[in-house]
Amino acid sequence: MIKRYDLIVVGAGPAGLSAAIEAAKNGLKPIVFDENAKPGGQLFKQIHKFFGSKEHKAKIRGFNIGDELLREASENGVEVVLNATVIGLYDGKEVTVKIGEEILHYKGDSVLIATGASENMVTFKGWTTPGVIGAGAAQTMMNLHHIKPGNKVLMLGSGNVGLVVSYQLMQAGCEVVALVDAAPRIGGYGVHAAKIARCGVPFYLSHTIVEVTGAEAVNGVTIAKLDENFKFIEGTEKTFEVDTVCVAVGLSPMSQLLKQAGCEMKDTPGGFVPVCDDSGATSIPGIYAAGDVAGIEEASSAMIEGRMSGARIANYLGYLDEDALQARLAELEQALSSLRKGMFAPENRGKLVTKTEEGIDTSMSLLEKGYVADDEIEKYPGVTKGSGVHPVIECTQNIPCNPCQDACPKGCISIGSNITSLPVVKGDVACIGCGMCVASCSGQAIFLVEDDIGDGYGTVTLPYEFLPLPEVGQKGIALGRDGKEVCKAEVINVRSSTAFDHTHLLTMKVSTDMVMKARFFKAE
């Protein structure tokens, strides 16, 4: 007996679940298969706050978005079958699923493939040694299974995954000895780079791994600088004693099921993807694709793409009329297009953007070393001086993100209607020092600065997400944006609140002339 469903979804990640929810809301009965033991795809490994605006669930951490999605799925009667591996897809919209010790066949009036992506790899001498792992593996170990992947780690890859996972490694208590990338410039968001650079992690751009050593397990790694032809420059080798090497060199769509079914495919620099329209319809009527399998993007975009496919499928099966579909698609399309704007928009991939939308020069120091240089920072509109406590917003790239503008109860911060504009601090509004902006910034790029509290001291309030949490009165060292020692510092306040969602606000006292340089606190 073949079981039939209105919609079969393969993959219970952000795209698949969103599509199933949207379809179910329109009256369809979807079933979702996932090979993993838990639903949510990669969302439950993502412990950072998301970018975007309210409609993209900005400033909410990935795993909390995952919980929301699961709740919504269950409320709408979406059936999710776990430990169910789809091993084949045939053009009659039939899937074969391995569940337990059996292979079962299901037929869908429609099928949505939302299988996501797999990690790319690079080869180097010793890359098969135990202790060399994918960045995804590191995330899985620390955020799902609560174990440290290693004690001393070198990260290869400076895209958002490499940057975010490096930060997460430090949060898990690991030491990140270096971040290395063969490219001459950092690939991910500058704010993600800056938050690890100020903790003292050195960046080695135009470098890659020569060799990993260790017979039974990794005990070291040697990197070297590359020339313009990507050949090692002799004499530039550096060796680090590490037990783990983490590789984060991009993702590829896992599109094999679509190819097997006979969907028209195309090979692109971003991977082998199905040819499909905006709502994920492939060349085979009734077979759809959404999320990373259709082209690598963020989870935020995957969720919108899923909704679009879900609506489109509801229309295909007669549950949603054409006008209602178009209205829904237009709404979702707008949300999606705002995420695809700015310096990291798909059309800018790999390009060097030398000026912001506001016409300010891009910080080359940020792109090459991971931090904005002290003499560059004041060019940006979020960085202002004032008497009394005031926000300093070190947001220097046009990325689609705006939670800071809603965070301030006094309306100090403005981004405007263009979501990628750099935030501006309004000089005429009084800051009350509540810190909501500091905690709301997914890039952890907002600081509260007070130049003068008397006796030659000022204060800097910074977002702090590590353990142990420093205590009031604790003395230590203030680190600069480059992670180097700036001056002595003393913790004078630590604020924690459910509204801050695990981002603590640490206020340190530093000498007045250092308030625009000190950006991290290191206990002595």
Partner 1 sequence: MIDIQEKLKEIGPYVEAADDDVLVCRCEEVTKGEIRQAVHAGMFTMEEIRRYLRSGMGLCQGQTCGKLVKGIVARELKVSPLEIEPATSRAPMRPTEMRIMAQDGGGANE
Partner 2 sequence: MERIQTHPILGDSPKGKLVSFTYDGQVLQGIEGEPISAALRVAGVMTHRYTKKRHEPRGVFCAIGRCTDCVMVVNGMPNIRTCITPLEEGMDVRTQYGASDKREEATL
Kindly identify the residues of this chain, within the stretch 266-295, that bind partner 1 according to CB under 8 A. Answer: 267-269, 272
When the beta carbons of 103 and 469 are compared against partner 2, the nearer one is: 469
Helices 62-75, 14-25: inter-axial angle, 10-degree rounding: 30
Nearer to partner 2, 370 or 463 (CB): 463
Residue 462's nearest CA partner among 430, 500, 513, 420 is 500
Of the candidates 292, 314, 255, 272, which has an alpha carbon nearest to the alpha carbon of residue 19?
Answer: 314
Q: Which does 216 bind (CB under 5 to 8 A by kind): partner 2, partner 1, none?
A: partner 2
State how far the Cα of 57 lies from the Cα of 52, in Å rounded to an integer: 7
Contact 172, 261 (CB under 8 A): no
CA pair distance 176, 166, nearest whole angstrom: 7
Residue from 479, 205, 353 nearest 363 by CA: 353
* Of 120 and 418, CB closest to partner 2: 120
From 44-52, 92-100, 148-156, 433-441, give the range in contact with partner 1 by CB under 8 A. 92-100
Q: Is 432 in the site for partner 1 (CB under 8 A)?
A: no
Among 64, 76, 118, 213, binds partner 1 (CB under 8 A): 118
**Sole window of 133-141, 305-313, 352-360, 422-430 interacting with partner 2 (rule: CB under 8 A):** 133-141
Q: How many whole angstroms separate alpha carbon 344 and alpha carbon 355?
A: 13
Q: What is the DSSP-derived secondary structure letter of residue 451? A: E
Q: Does 35 bind partner 1 (CB under 8 A)?
A: yes
> Residue 510 binds which entry of partner 1, partner 2, none, with Cβ cut-offs from 5 to 8 Å by kind?
none
Cβ 259 to partner 1 shortest distance, Å: 4
Decide if 161 contacts 181 (C-beta within 8 A).
Answer: no
Residue from 188, 187, 180 nearest 206 by CA: 180
Residue 349 lies near partner 1 (rule: CB under 8 A) = no
The interface with partner 2 within residues 145-184 (CB under 8 A) comprises 145-151, 171-173
By beta-carbon proximity to partner 1, the closer residue of 119 and 357 is 119
Question: For residue 178, how many other CB atoms are within 10 A of its CB?
Answer: 19
Residues 494-513 that bind partner 2 (CB under 8 A): 502
Work out whether 81 is an interface residue with partner 1 (CB under 8 A).
Answer: no
Region binding partner 1 by CB under 8 A among candidate stretches 37-45, 90-98, 189-197, 282-290 = 90-98
Instruction: Determine, following the binding rule CB under 8 A, whether residue 61 of this chain makes contact with partner 2.
Output: yes
Could you say which residues in the range 108-127 bind partner 2, by CB under 8 A?
A: 118-119
| Partner from partner 2, partner 1, none contacting 27, C-beta within 5 to 8 A by type | none
3-state secondary structure of 162: helix
Please choose which of partner 1, partner 2, none residue 322 contacts, taking the beta carbon within 5 to 8 angstroms, the exact cut-off set by kind.
none
List the single partner that 47 binds among partner 1, partner 2, none, CB under 5 to 8 Å by kind. partner 2
- Residue 240: both structure tokens together: 């680090």
Cβ contacts of 175 within 8 Å, gap of 6 or more: 151, 152, 153
End-to-end distance of the chain based on CA atoms, in angstroms? Answer: 69
What residues between 10 and 49 interact with partner 2 by CB under 8 A? 35-37, 47
- Write out the DSSP string of 220-268: EEEEEEB-TTS-BPTT--EEE--SEEEE---EEE--HHHHHHT--EEEE
- How many angstroms separate the most distant Cα atoms in the chain? 83
CB count within 10 Å of CB 117 equals: 24
The binder of partner 1 chosen from 37, 123, 215, 347 (CB under 8 A): 123
Within positions 374 to 403, which residues make up the interface with partner 2, using CB under 8 A? Answer: none
451 binds, among partner 2, partner 1, none (CB under 5 to 8 A by kind): none
- State both tokens at 176: 């990140």
Neighbours of 127 (CB within 10 A): 15
- Nearer Cβ to partner 1, position 272 or 319? 272
Tokens found for residue 233: 């420059």
Min dist. Cβ of residue 145 to partner 2 (A):
4
Residue 173 interacting entry, from partner 2, partner 1, none, C-beta within 5 to 8 Å by type: partner 2
Angle between helix 14-25 and 299-316 (nearest 10): 30
The dihedral of CA 260, 17, 192, 524: what is its sign?
Answer: negative
Residue number with CB closer to partner 2 (244 or 362): 244
Tell me which residues touch partner 2 (CB under 8 A): 35-37, 47, 61, 63, 118-119, 128-134, 136-138, 140-143, 145-151, 171-173, 215-217, 465-467, 469, 502
Tell me which residues touch partner 1 (CB under 8 A): 1-2, 35, 85-88, 90, 92, 94, 96, 98, 101-105, 107, 118, 120-125, 127-128, 252, 254, 256-257, 259-260, 265, 267-269, 272
